[in-house]
Structure formats: structure tokens, C-alpha cells
Structure 1
Amino acid sequence: MHLLFICSRNKWRSLTAETIFQGVGGHEARSAGTEENARIKVTAGHIGWADLIFTMEKKHIRRLQDKFGHELAGKRLICLHIPDEFEYMNEDLIGLLQSGVSLHIGLDD
């Protein structure tokens, strides 16, 4: 399964998610951001590639819907409700990501 993780700048939350979920349970992971200054800015190609899209906040879902409404048809978007208060690979962030994502997919190695 292809997992896409979205946050604002793709520097901390979504990049951490990509790092920790890449290859877990046979899943492929990518990440991107919604802001103009994102490390990797989300594109229609990201949306098309993804089987499942996880956002960190509700505003990210709104931004995706505004920009990629047509591309999102039939896609499942899940908000993890993780605030922008963690740095890359923060232990608490990893715990929140693992508990939130595990509700939706199998994470067995």
C-alpha cells in the first residue's frame, strides 16, 4: 500500500512519518507539505500515487480538497490531529504517529 503523509512544510511531522513507516508491513511511504515553502510540495502526482493519505491537521485536508478536488475522488483522507509542536523524529511524535496510523493499517514487519 502507498501511504502519503501531509503536513505544512514537510520538515518535521510528515517527514518523520515517511521515515518511520517506509517499508513497514510492506507499505511504501512518501511525504509532502501544503505550504509554498515546503521541503517537498504536494503535487497531483503524489495524490495519484497514494492509496491512503494521512494529514496532520484538518486544515491540510481542506487545502488538499481546495487544490486537488478532482484528483482526490475515491481517495481516503485521514486526519491524525497532530499539532505542529514536534521536531523531526521526536519520540512523542513517533508515538502519536504509530498509534494513529495503526488504527487504519497493519504495521507488522
Structure 2
Amino acid sequence: MSSGPVKLLFVCTRNRLRSPTAEAVLNQGDSVTAISAGTNHDAETTLSGDLIEWADRIYVMESVHKKKITRQYDALLQDKPIRNLAIPDNYRFMDAGLVVKIKTMFPEFFS
């Protein structure tokens, strides 16, 4: 891992609700830079090999995202485990409950 901020990549399907919320919330924390992307071709920001290479840590919202990433980018994932946050697709962007859930999952970035 490089020195400087920890680079977190959050992935959902269309990059419109869950992963952009995680990006916004985590970018408020100390010593972290977060980016979000989606696995679908019509995502706001489509997941790419460059984003996989950029990230120190990769988080997905559902197991289906992990399967897609592993299948498509296996060669780039040698030292990058993917963690499934198990956040269902039933939140709006910046939903208060989702924000609390995300902050609870990443207490090390909020002091």
C-alpha cells in the first residue's frame, strides 16, 4: 500500500445510489480518498481496470458485483481482496440510514 490517503473503491450496479453515497461519506473521513463505480454499461461511472489498479481496497454492495469483478478483472486482483458490504439496493442517495450504516462499517476513518 502506498503512503498517503488510503484509496477506496466502492462498486454497485449503476453507480447512482449506494456506491456514490459511500464515496461521499468516506471522502469526509480523515486519510482516505474514495471513488465509486458501477458494473453496468449504463453506470454513471463505469468500473474499469484503471480504477481497480488505482484502489488499495475494493468494496462491493452485493455478491453479484464481486462475481462480475472477479470474472472480468481477475488478473488485476492479485493482491486486492474484494469485501462484500452486503448493502441491499433499497436506499436512496445519501439516505440517512445508509450513511449511518457506512460510517459504522468504517469507524477508523471518522474521529
Tell me the TM-score normalized by structure 1: 0.92
SS in 2 for 1:70: helix
How far has the Cα of 1:23 moved from its partner? 4.8
| 1:59 matched residue in structure 2 | 64
Q: Which runs of 5+ in 2 are unaligned?
A: 1-5
CA-to-partner distance for each residue in 1:29-88, whole Å, 9 max, x for gaps?
000000111010000000000000010001100000011000111102111000000010
The answer to whether residue 10 in structure 2 is matched with residue 5 in structure 1 is yes
The percentage of aligned residue pairs carrying the same residue is: 31
Tell me the TM-score normalized by structure 2: 0.90
How is 1:60-75 mapped onto 2 (pairs within 5 angstroms)?
60-75=65-80
Any conservation in 2 of the 1:23–1:29 contact (CA below 8 Å)?
Answer: no
SS in 2 for 1:24: coil
The code of the aligned residue for 2:55 comes to: A
Cα distance in 2 for residues equivalent to 1:108 and 1:6: 21
Q: Which runs of 5+ in 1 are unaligned?
A: none
| 2:3 matched residue in structure 1 | none
Q: For the aligned residues, what is the CA RMSD?
A: 1.1
SS in 1 for 2:76: coil
Any conservation in 1 of the 2:103–2:110 contact (CA below 8 Å)?
Answer: no
SS in 1 for 2:64: helix
